[in-house]
């Protein structure tokens, strides 16, 4: 597509439920990143994909968080047993190759609210 697409744009879930957030990167972009933006912590890196593999998962805050990418394209971020502190905007970004000089394109994010 023309840009990075994320769905849903908003998600309200009950504490303890699992949620899945989806990211459709720009077609052909091999690098994909997930970030989280929360009031207390600002913008934080979660995980990086190169193709379907995730060589850097260092930002995932706990084992309740996982992500996968299939076909070198769509990625899903899953949060199990959601907690209130998981409430944040989850941003996805993609890049043609891992060359920061080319810049990332960010999606508009999924706003997750855990009640």
Partner 1 sequence: AQKVTQAQTEISVVEKEDVTLDCVYETRDTTYYLFWYKQPPSGELVFLIRRNSFDEQNEISGRYSWNFQKSTSSFNFTITASQVVDSAVYFCALSEARRGGSEKLVFGKGMKLTVNP
Report the alpha-carbon distance of residue 25 to residue 115 in Å, rounded: 29
Report the nearest approach of partner 1 to the CB of residue 62 (Å). Answer: 18
Q: Which is nearer to partner 1, 57 or 80 (CB)?
A: 57
Helix, strand, coil shares, percent, the chain, to 5: 5, 50, 45
Report the nearest approach of partner 1 to the CB of residue 70 (Å). Answer: 20
Q: Which of 11, 22, 38, 59 binds partner 1 (CB under 8 A)?
A: 59
Report the alpha-carbon distance of residue 10 to residue 57 in Å, rounded: 24
Report the Cα 110 to chain-centroid distance in Å. Answer: 9
61 binds partner 1 (CB under 8 A): no
Report the nearest approach of partner 1 to the CB of residue 85 (Å). Answer: 18
CB 86 within 8 A of CB 15: no
Count interface residues toward partner 1 (CB under 8 A). 25
Residue with tokens 């890049």: 95
- Give the binding site for partner 1 (CB under 8 A): 33, 35, 42-45, 48, 50, 55-56, 59, 89, 91, 93, 98-101, 103-109
């Amino acid at each position: 597509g023309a840009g990075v697409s994320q769905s849903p744009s908003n998600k309200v879930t009950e504490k303890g439920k699992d949620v899945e957030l989806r990211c459709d990167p720009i077609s052909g972009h091999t690098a994909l990143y997930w970030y989280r933006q929360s009031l207390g912590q600002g913008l934080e890196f979660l995980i990086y994909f190169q193709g379907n593999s995730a060589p850097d998962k260092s930002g995932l805050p706990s084992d309740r968080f996982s992500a996968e990418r299939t076909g070198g394209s769509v990625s899903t971020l899953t949060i199990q047993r959601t907690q209130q502190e998981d409430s944040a905007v989850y941003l996805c970004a993609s890049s043609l190759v891992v060359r920061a000089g080319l810049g990332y394109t960010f999606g508009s994010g999924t706003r997750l609210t855990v009640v």
